[in-house]
Structure 1
């Protein structure tokens, strides 16, 4: 477990600086911000902590080999030389995700197939047993990345994408990704003392991520990880790290998180979700119009919300009016408030009518959007 190696933590486009700040706060070593994520060097305990603690991460990849790869025979030879028994039982299941660009090997499926052959042959020659290939619920996910004939083979320590926290009971329609919701809160000016408000709360994702942040609750406490299936996994040491994270978590007793949505089903679902993380007493969800929220002057609250884009919800004829009316309401009723708002276009941002803001281009799933951060 103490052997240090290179890891790459992936994230959604635009979140690299936020993820880098998180990784720095976690005291991971030899950090480097790169396109698509953050690199660090550490042992398995560091990989465990990265999976458990990083709120904007999607996957933590442990790099095994990096080499010049001019042809498929080289790929097969290097992949077969890896000691796969450290990561996969001979009768286990695995899946290979391959990507290639600007290389002699220019077919990702062929790249994946040659890697699969190498893994199967390596384990079968050692044990006589043949692992199976399974895209769903595989015991191990292997990542192969080939760019300009330079190949990197990594194992995925995370398993399911880290945005799948494990607390969600109610999905709702078009929810914001948990990693994006966490980034909204982390990039806001919220002091974690004044109320956090989401007037378009949907299934409650943003407020729940805010509650996890305010209480210093590790986002990975509600789920399991891919590395737990690895042969030789030190469950005792891992349990100690989880236990320390649980003991650290504590919600500020007077903190309030307030959500509103027109759909009563969303409100009921949000209450289910927040109950699964244990913060029901701090969160209040009410069905109603966002523009009719009972704002209080001098509250100093932070508004964190995912405004309708019209890509998945809403219709174009109504969205302009919604943004204009909502912006007018906030400008007249919420002086001194902070905000972090996800909007679909520059036009929607300007319709809000705010004087100035910081803008961070993001991608919520496949949808390009912008995070606006500022004060009223």
Structure 2
């Protein structure tokens, strides 16, 4: 081979410019950018150096040959023309990767097969020896890229992708690749800051990738120094002497770097399950004395080692996995912004985000933004200087005021911290720094005003009735389409999915405005706001588990205690709109046998027991909800004389021969559970359901029937058999007065 070889360095999309700068610094000549790659010329020493030192490349490909091709035969002959005896032994192992299409090659598998056939045919010996295929750990990995009628045949010097440094054997749900993390650090200016002795902190460190990559940069450790297997190990063109020299130089540089006093590098992670994996990764990288990991929420993140220390806060906030998650992340970004403003004055920050609109909600401006790709996801890197003139507050400042604030902040940090004493010689405690909260947008303030107005209007009623949980907002303003319920000191927000006619960006912005307003308007901590997205449901989807936190909150209603779960399901276990019916049941239940059909979590049964019912029977198909019902009854001391039955309500009623004095039925609109016979449709089946239930009603008894199907029409023929009275208006409390169609209810008795 010649002294200078053509090299292709591949990289994630968006890193080409950074990789170009890095590769030129490592000796690549005549370098140029391509899509997700750069190319240039280099001798073997430079090629090895790129393998060892590139923090950004995925692969280093050494071009063996370029040739034109018009069809599969040209491809075969072009590969066959290479003297493969210079590159591998006849009985070695081989893997081929093919990219591109055209010139009669429309299938990459077919293209790779033709390349493999040519190499095997070239090396086949008279005795029958030939290379075999090993896709996972071959002696030689060959790449062929087809580009506009030209074949570029290359040898992969890397082996496995260079982003796989070897220290990260444990990872979280959505980790950044190591070379992307390094690119973010480089773009954020960390190499310069590290050389100046700056600190590095990650408040959402996951398994520690940013921290390890940052420490390796600071300690001058080659990113691939500890890699065991390389693509050139079994290559016959490998020059071990050159490689050994470069590896020894890199080892010496790492030893010198590690001998320096370590920088202050800290990670914080809220999920306790990631703490040990992060520490294990750091230990494998040999950086345990440089990097420390602590468990903690973003809101308690305290990165400043001392008053004069400057540094970089870097993080990759989590991405939402389900509908509604992105909205919930607003508070995470707000907490991050608050901590930056309160604890990181005069630091720099780099926030790598897949939701740049959320980045705008931190209450602090970014002075630069860079586009990246995390796989197929477009992302932004927001670079921030944490100075008061960049804070977004309610007060408008002139450029001169901002400059004065910047100079004042710089002087505060640079001046030595001196303790002051009063005339008695006692130290004076410095006044706390008050950080003004980011102002609400015009829409957010309008929404906050509406919430406060509703809260005030309901205040006297809530206090008089002793109500602990109620609805404070239900799409009062069409552009802010959500329901907001208070559960003691928790807020439960259900975002109604915007219709397709609404611009998704506008809908998202309004949702963020509303979420920013809720804690301020209701005077509740952001950590106690739960956000979900509610869409048109089918079947039992609304009852399906959305999360698995298993956290129950105790609330009060009408003198009984009830358990709600605000996180795991769309519904919380308590239908607030049925409060009046439950209270009516409590008042009428004394001495009566009560039957609760489709009982859900049996809140109506708890009220009946509270009202002195002789017995209660609660029927539902779901074991999960019956277990919940059992807990509700037990919580109030009503375990005796309160029966729970699991089964399909229609089948259960058909088999039942008992009588009940008071019956409550609140069926689903539609159900097709595998554990029931057939499909239940409330419009189609309500007559049969009511006939079966009325057959179980004792003389003088009362049946209450309710459902929330907006288009429901009660069969007119029922009035010929029973006394039917619609009582909807009396079953809607003031908190649902704005939504009179939340449900309909009837009182039914025997004629």
Deviation at 1:311, TM superposition (A): 4.4
| Equivalent residue, structure 1, for 2:202 | 198
Deviation at 1:157, TM superposition (A): 0.8
Equivalent-residue separation in structure 2 for 1:214 and 1:126 (angstroms): 55
| Equivalent residue, structure 1, for 2:239 | 234
| Equivalent residue, structure 2, for 1:162 | 162
State how 1:102-113 maps to structure 2 within 5 Å.
102-113=102-113
Equivalent-residue separation in structure 1 for 2:102 and 2:363 (angstroms): 45
Distance change in 2, residues 1:126/1:43 (3 Å): farther
Distance change in 2, residues 1:254/1:159 (3 Å): closer
State how 1:282-301 maps to structure 2 within 5 Å.
282-296=290-304, 297-301=307-311
The answer on 1:268 being equivalent to 2:276 is: yes
Residues 90, 127 of structure 1: 8 Å contact kept: no
Residues 361, 369 of structure 1: 8 Å contact kept: yes
When structure 1 is superposed on structure 2, of 272-281 and 175-184 the one drifting more is 272-281
Distance change in 2, residues 1:194/1:10 (3 Å): same
The answer on 1:80 being equivalent to 2:90 is: no
**Pick from 361, 371, 375: which aligns with 2:371?**
361
Deviation at 1:349, TM superposition (A): 2.1
Equivalent-residue separation in structure 1 for 2:348 and 2:50 (angstroms): 30
Q: Secondary structure at the match of 2:289?
A: helix
| Equivalent residue, structure 2, for 1:349 | 359
| Equivalent residue, structure 1, for 2:225 | 221
Deviation at 1:237, TM superposition (A): 2.7
Deviation at 1:195, TM superposition (A): 0.9
Equivalent-residue separation in structure 1 for 2:320 and 2:126 (angstroms): 55
Residues 342, 372 of structure 1: 8 Å contact kept: yes
Deviation at 1:314, TM superposition (A): 9.6
The answer on 1:57 being equivalent to 2:57 is: yes
Deviation at 1:28, TM superposition (A): 2.0
Equivalent-residue separation in structure 1 for 2:375 and 2:241 (angstroms): 36
Residues 65, 154 of structure 1: 8 Å contact kept: yes
| Equivalent residue, structure 1, for 2:8 | 8
Distance change in 2, residues 1:89/1:372 (3 Å): farther
Deviation at 1:148, TM superposition (A): 1.9
Equivalent-residue separation in structure 2 for 1:306 and 1:269 (angstroms): 17
The answer on 1:244 being equivalent to 2:249 is: yes
Residues 298, 336 of structure 1: 8 Å contact kept: no
**Pick from 254, 266, 274: which aligns with 1:258?**
266
| Equivalent residue, structure 1, for 2:171 | 171
| Equivalent residue, structure 1, for 2:120 | 120
Residues 344, 368 of structure 1: 8 Å contact kept: yes
The answer on 1:32 being equivalent to 2:32 is: yes
Deviation at 1:102, TM superposition (A): 4.8
Distance change in 2, residues 1:127/1:242 (3 Å): farther
Equivalent-residue separation in structure 2 for 1:233 and 1:313 (angstroms): 52
Equivalent-residue separation in structure 2 for 1:127 and 1:347 (angstroms): 66
Deviation at 1:331, TM superposition (A): 2.6
Distance change in 2, residues 1:314/1:209 (3 Å): farther
Residues 266, 303 of structure 2: 8 Å contact kept: no
Deviation at 1:60, TM superposition (A): 0.4
State how 1:302-321 maps to structure 2 within 5 Å.
302-311=312-321, 315-321=325-331
Equivalent-residue separation in structure 2 for 1:110 and 1:145 (angstroms): 13
| Equivalent residue, structure 2, for 1:322 | 332
Equivalent-residue separation in structure 2 for 1:2 and 1:374 (angstroms): 48
| Equivalent residue, structure 2, for 1:338 | 348
| Equivalent residue, structure 2, for 1:90 | 90
Deviation at 1:127, TM superposition (A): 7.6
CA deviation digits over 1:103-156, x for unaligned, max 9? 443222221111111011011158841111122212222111112211111111
Equivalent-residue separation in structure 2 for 1:258 and 1:295 (angstroms): 8
When structure 1 is superposed on structure 2, of 10-19 and 129-138 the one drifting more is 129-138
Residues 201, 303 of structure 2: 8 Å contact kept: no
Residues 189, 339 of structure 1: 8 Å contact kept: no
Equivalent-residue separation in structure 2 for 1:87 and 1:339 (angstroms): 48
Equivalent-residue separation in structure 1 for 2:38 and 2:237 (angstroms): 27
State how 1:127-142 maps to structure 2 within 5 Å.
128-142=128-142
Deviation at 1:48, TM superposition (A): 0.9
- Provide the alpha-carbon RMSD of the alignment: 2.1
| Equivalent residue, structure 2, for 1:210 | 214
| Equivalent residue, structure 1, for 2:42 | 42
Deviation at 1:232, TM superposition (A): 5.0
Runs of at least 5 residues in structure 2 that lack an aligned partner in the other structure? 387-751
CA deviation digits over 1:316-345, x for unaligned, max 9? 342122112222321333221111221012
Distance change in 2, residues 1:314/1:142 (3 Å): farther
- RCO higher in 1 or 2 (8 Å CA, sep ≥ 6)? 1
Equivalent-residue separation in structure 2 for 1:146 and 1:345 (angstroms): 35
Deviation at 1:2, TM superposition (A): 6.3
Q: Secondary structure at the match of 2:100?
A: strand
Deviation at 1:161, TM superposition (A): 0.4
When structure 1 is superposed on structure 2, of 270-279 and 300-309 the one drifting more is 270-279
Distance change in 2, residues 1:189/1:87 (3 Å): same
Distance change in 2, residues 1:182/1:126 (3 Å): farther
CA deviation digits over 1:68-95, x for unaligned, max 9? 1101111111101112233322112212
Q: Secondary structure at the match of 2:122?
A: helix
| Equivalent residue, structure 1, for 2:145 | 145
